[in-house]
């Protein structure tokens, strides 16, 4: 599956870091401290300049659905736990430590003292107050309250897991929100106890997810959904959120210091620019206006290396190039709510009729781990062999036979399809046009390509509009469960007037859902859980509610002056300990 161009061999001999990380260990010790290598010493001050392809979709952590928004809000808000960006191990954050009882159902968290919310007019005198256990209880009750905007986070993190959460949400739908959430209690000002319905060893992942961050009641009451007050290392002022980007400022009251006693974060600011053109990103990188570029086309990287090889060979190098497999997959969702995609033979026909290898080789120039010929889960999880999943390779004979069996011989009578993609990346349009051409050439199926903004495309997919809609999935936490959950059917609403996310195909299969429930709620052994997930995933691929195109693997070009920035397959970013060496 893995392809490397001849020019890459040259790069590998210079300064490329080829890495793959996987972390699923739970440890209550604080492992978030980085080791400073060689003569580099942390320096306070300076700014890091970043780029995102789309504007942030929300400033409320419970509502986040896009990776770019995660990148920004992860610096502003914090939860009980977080990930070590180097290892992806779950480590303490707002919680100083935690214990799990012998039943595996009761988690007791000891909160750090001296954590303050950002200064903001919502607090008395504009001064941020100390975070207490009552704030954790408030935030989790807020997250469990009925709200379409937080349904994705609630369904994945709390529903069926936290004791009484489902009942709490149902009661709130009728306007009778209970006074208490049975599974979340404040024992004292600095102790929180969370009780689960069943033992669930992956639950710490849910609390390390930025979507379950702690928010203050005062901010919610003053700003509603437009809150921007957390406890994180950086502060987001409303006046610094524009249509061109976001500027995050150092939190002067942040509670952490490094081993030498230096105040964290080291940086004065993070500047995030909205740039929807990869060539413009590269240009700004060379001009020193960006410190990191993610997802450049292979031909652009080739040009950089060949034309500026000295910048990689310097001691120390000026640039660092990394190529890392991601916990991410690219796909197109079929709309199962209407013909012709309510017919599984049609879905299979299109899945066999698409040449993924051509897309990876010719359009992506091999900037991918490989074509999506197995399941939806990418090949980055230890103990989860995706090659055991039988997916779809290009087989035109099978495709035509299935299409004929579905009542459309040689595509005759097949309706013109609406193929929806989003802008913000020229690659998206290129892939959409390639799919349009392949479907016409291979199966005699006509399509109209519709290009929308990211938010418009997401909304259309959530409400069951369009026929084939571009999608992508980046893991919320480092487990195959994050991908199997995408097609879980019990959370799909019965009406198209209600949004469905992440299951935008609105796929429902009782056997699949039972397997998912068994793995998540009844199985504590990881190997056994993975075995059940693979059984479910094979069933999913036989039903073909989407077409998997490729597994992600991106090039990342970084200014060597940016230190302590760790690249990981979860695309998890934490700038608390990142610093810059002046050039």
pLDDT in tens, 199-243: 998 999 999 999 999 999 999 999 999 999 999 999 999 999 999
Is the model's pLDDT at 11 over the cut of 50? no
Q: Could you report the per-residue pLDDT of 507-557, keeping only the tens digit for each?
A: 999 999 999 999 998 888 999 999 999 999 999 999 999 999 999 998 889
Same topology between domain 60-232 and domain 326-553 = no
Alpha-carbon distance 91 to 108, whole Å?
Answer: 15
Beta bridge partners of 196: 162
Is the model's pLDDT at 7 over the cut of 50? no
Contact between 557 and 304 under an 8 Å Cβ cutoff? The reply is: yes
For tokens 């689960």, the residue is 196
Alpha-carbon distance 225 to 59, whole Å?
Answer: 8
Alpha-carbon distance 514 to 406, whole Å?
Answer: 29
Architecture of domain 326-553: Roll (3.10)
Residue-range domain boundaries for the chain: 60-232, 326-553
Q: Which residues are CB-contacts of 16 (< 8 A; sequence separation ≥ 6)? A: 8, 320, 321, 322, 323
Distance separating the N- and C-terminal Cα atoms of the chain:
40
CA nearest 135: which of 149, 119, 116, 120?
Answer: 116
Domain 60-232: give its CATH superfamily.
Dipeptide-binding Protein; Domain 1 (3.90.76.10)
Is the model's pLDDT at 309 over the cut of 80? no
Share of the chain above pLDDT 70, in %: 91
| 161: three-class secondary structure by DSSP | coil
Report the pLDDT value the prediction gives residue 30, as an integer from 0 to 100. Answer: 41
Q: Is 37 exposed, middle or buried (0-12, 13-18, 19+ CB in 10 A)?
A: exposed
292-294 and 245-250 beta bridge pairing:
unpaired
Phi, psi dihedral angles at 324 (to 5 degrees): -130, 130
CA nearest 396: which of 356, 366, 352?
Answer: 352
Taking the model in full, what pTM does it have?
0.88
- Using pLDDT thresholds of 50, 70 and 90, give the confidence band for residue 454: confident
Q: Could you report the per-residue pLDDT of 125-157, keeping only the tens digit for each?
A: 999 999 999 999 999 999 999 998 999 999 999
Report the pLDDT value the prediction gives residue 103, as an integer from 0 to 100. Answer: 94
CA nearest 488: which of 522, 528, 518?
Answer: 518
Alpha-carbon distance 330 to 310, whole Å?
Answer: 35
Is the model's pLDDT at 161 over the cut of 60? yes
Alpha-carbon distance 22 to 480, whole Å?
Answer: 11
| 509: three-class secondary structure by DSSP | coil
Contact between 197 and 160 under an 8 Å Cβ cutoff? The reply is: yes
């Amino acid at each position: 599956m893995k392809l490397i161009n001849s020019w890459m061999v040259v790069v590998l001999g210079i300064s490329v870091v080829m890495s793959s990380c996987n972390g699923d260990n739970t440890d209550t010790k604080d492992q978030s401290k980085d080791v400073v290598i060689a003569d580099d010493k942390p320096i306070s001050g300076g700014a890091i300049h970043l780029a995102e392809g789309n504007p942030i979709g929300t400033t409320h952590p419970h509502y986040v659905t896009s990776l770019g928004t995660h990148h920004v809000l992860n610096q502003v808000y914090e939860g009980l736990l977080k990930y070590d960006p180097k290892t992806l191990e779950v480590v303490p954050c707002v919680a100083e430590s935690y214990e799990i009882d012998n039943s595996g159902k009761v988690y007791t968290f000891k909160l750090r003292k001296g954590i303050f919310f950002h200064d903001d007019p919502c607090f008395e005198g504009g001064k941020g107050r100390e975070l207490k256990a009552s704030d954790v209880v408030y935030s989790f009750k807020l997250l469990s309250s009925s709200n379409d905007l937080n349904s994705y986070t609630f369904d994945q993190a709390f529903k069926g897991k936290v004791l009484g959460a489902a009942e709490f949400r149902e009661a709130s739908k009728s306007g009778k929100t209970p006074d208490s959430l049975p599974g979340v209690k404040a024992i004292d000002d600095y102790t929180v106890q969370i009780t689960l319905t069943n033992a669930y060893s992956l639950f710490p992942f849910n609390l390390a997810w930025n979507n379950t961050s702690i928010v203050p009641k005062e901010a919610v009451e003053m700003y509603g959904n437009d809150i921007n007050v957390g406890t994180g290392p950086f502060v987001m002022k409303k006046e610094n959120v524009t249509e061109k980007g976001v500027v995050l400022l150092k939190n002067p009251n942040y509670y952490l210091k490094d081993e030498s006693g230096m105040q964290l974060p080291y940086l004065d600011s993070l500047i995030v620019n909205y740039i929807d053109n990869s060539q413009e990103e590269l240009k700004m990188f060379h001009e020193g206006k960006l410190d990191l570029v993610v997802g450049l086309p292979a031909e652009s990287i080739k040009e950089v290396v060949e034309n500026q090889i000295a910048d990689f060979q310097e001691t120390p190098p000026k640039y660092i190039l990394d190529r890392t497999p991601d916990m991410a997959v690219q796909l197109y969702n079929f709309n199962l709510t209407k013909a012709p995609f309510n017919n599984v033979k049609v879905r299979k026909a299109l899945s066999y009729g698409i040449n993924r290898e051509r897309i990876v080789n010719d359009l992506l120039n091999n900037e991918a781990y490989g074509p999506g010929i197995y399941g939806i889960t990418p090949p980055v999880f230890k103990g989860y062999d995706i090659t055991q999943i039988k997916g779809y390779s290009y087989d035109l004979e099978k495709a035509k036979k299935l299409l004929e069996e579905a009542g459309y011989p040689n595509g005759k009578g097949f309706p013109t399809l609406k193929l929806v993609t989003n802008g913000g990346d020229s690659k998206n349009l290129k892939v959409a046009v390639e799919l349009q051409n392949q479907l016409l050439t291979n199966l005699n199926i006509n399509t109209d390509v519709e290009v929308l903004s990211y938010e418009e495309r997401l909304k259309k997919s959530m409400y069951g509009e369009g026929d084939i809609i571009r999608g992508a999935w980046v893991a919320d936490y480092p487990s195959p469960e994050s991908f199997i959950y995408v097609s879980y059917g019990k959370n799909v609403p019965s009406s198209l007037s209600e949004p469905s996310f992440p299951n935008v195909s609105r796929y429902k299969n009782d056997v699949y859902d039972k397997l998912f429930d068994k793995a998540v709620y009844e199985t504590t052994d990881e190997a056994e859980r993975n075995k059940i997930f693979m059984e479910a995933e094979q069933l999913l691929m036989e039903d073909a509610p989407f077409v998997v195109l490729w597994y992600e693997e991106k090039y990342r070009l970084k200014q060597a002056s940016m230190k302590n920035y760790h690249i990981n397959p979860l695309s998890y970013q934490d700038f608390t300990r990142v610093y810059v060496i002046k050039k």
